[in-house]
């Protein structure tokens, strides 16, 4: 019996949003107003597709993007936490469910030698076109009214757990580590024995607090964190028990 660790990526594993960080590659490190204002709520992936076309047309190469992405800082304590998980893989299965994309996450994890820590990464598929532009697609289709068009993290988590059960794998506890509004849907799916770990001061923590005020609290335990060292302390207790 293992524990399942579910991580968001942006503002959770790394201390920035990888999609907005890539703008550091753009001419003068900014996007034209027309492009910036073209975002429609719930349609982030399509917006990023336009950003990548702009970067490609501005002469930004794959190597430039990779150099920029691998300079993104990890969240406080995260390097220690991921090192600890990597040393204790017999206790933990570990997945990422993120609204970033496969190329960015792959670059960042491999550059820091953390790709072995994670069993699977669920995120928007991306690839470079023959023209040298980065292209990105929606992760899946779903019918959840609470989530952005391209990704319902609850659906991803549920399908992963179902697949694991078919393989005979069940978990003593799920620990969900995230920060954003789109992390609330999977947190609401967690059971009483599970733990949600929202990043302190970010949207997920605020939304969980609001639900408690509305007298419809989430079903799982909630432990907020500022540094990933706090997450590591909790995981050490789990292993001891």
Tell me if 80 is assigned to some domain: yes
**pLDDT tens-digit series, residues 6-22:** 999 999 999 999 999 99
Task: Give the CATH number, domain containing residue 116.
Answer: 3.40.50.1000
Q: Is 15 annotated as a binding residue?
A: no
Integer Cα distance of 209 and 170 in angstroms: 29
Is residue 80 a known part of a binding site?
Answer: no
What pLDDT is stored for residue 3 in this prediction?
Answer: 98
pLDDT of residue 134: 94
Count the neighbouring beta carbons within 10 Å of the beta carbon of residue 239.
Answer: 12
Q: 196 in a domain, yes or no?
A: yes
Q: Tell me whether residue 193 is in a domain.
A: yes
For tokens 């289709």, name the residue: 141
Summarize pLDDT for 71-95 with one digit per residue, the tens.
999 999 999 999 999 999 999 999 9
Could you tell me the residue range of the domain that residue 118 belongs to? Answer: 2-16+74-124+149-239
Q: Is 99 labelled a binding residue?
A: yes
Instruction: For residue 176, tell me if it sits in a domain.
Output: yes
The mean pLDDT of 131-140, rounded to a whole number, is: 88
Which one of the listed residues 8, 93, 183, 194 is annotated catalytic? Answer: 8
Tell whether 179 is covered by a domain: yes
Look at the chain and report how many structural domains it folds into.
1
Q: pLDDT per residue over 139-182, tens digit each?
A: 888 888 888 888 999 999 999 999 999 999 999 999 999 999 99
Q: Note the helical H segments in the chain.
A: 18-21, 33-36, 44-57, 62-69, 78-87, 102-111, 153-166, 184-187, 203-213, 228-240
Q: Is 19 annotated as a binding residue?
A: yes
Is residue 45 included in any domain, yes or no?
no
What is the β-pairing status of strands 126-128 and 134-136? antiparallel
Q: Which residues touch 134 (CB under 8 Å, ≥6 apart)?
A: 52, 55, 56, 62, 65, 101, 103, 126, 127, 128
Phi-psi domain of 5 (left: phi exceeds 0; alpha: psi -120 through 50; beta: other): beta
Instruction: Say if 93 falls within a structural domain.
Output: yes
Residue 8 annotated as catalytic: yes
Please determine, for residue 26, whether its predicted confidence score (pLDDT) is greater than 80.
yes
Residue 55 lies in a domain: no
pTM of the model: 0.95
């Amino acid at each position: 019996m293992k524990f399942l660790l579910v991580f968001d990526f942006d503002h959770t594993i790394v201390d920035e949003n990888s999609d907005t960080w890539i703008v550091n590659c753009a001419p003068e490190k900014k996007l034209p107003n027309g492009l910036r204002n073209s975002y429609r709520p719930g349609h982030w992936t399509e917006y990023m597709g336009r950003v990548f076309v702009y970067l490609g047309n501005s002469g930004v190469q794959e190597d430039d993007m990779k150099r920029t992405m691998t300079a993104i800082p990890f969240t406080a304590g995260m390097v220690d936490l991921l090192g600890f998980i990597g040393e204790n893989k017999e206790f933990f299965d570990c997945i990422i469910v993120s609204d970033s994309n496969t190329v960015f996450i792959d670059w960042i994890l491999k550059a820091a030698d953390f790709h072995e820590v994670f069993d699977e990464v669920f995120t928007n598929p991306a690839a470079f076109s023959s023209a040298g532009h980065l292209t990105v697609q929606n992760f899946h289709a779903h019918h959840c009214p609470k989530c952005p068009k391209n990704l319902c993290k609850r659906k991803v988590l549920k399908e992963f757990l179902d697949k694991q059960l078919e393989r005979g794998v069940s978990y003593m506890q799920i620990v969900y580590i995230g920060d954003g509004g789109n992390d609330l849907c999977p947190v609401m799916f967690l059971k009483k024995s599970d733990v949600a770990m929202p990043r302190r001061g970010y949207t997920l923590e605020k939304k969980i607090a609001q639900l408690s005020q509305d007298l419809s609290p989430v079903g799982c335990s909630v432990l907020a964190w500022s540094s990933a060292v706090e997450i590591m302390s909790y995981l050490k207790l789990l292993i001891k028990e």
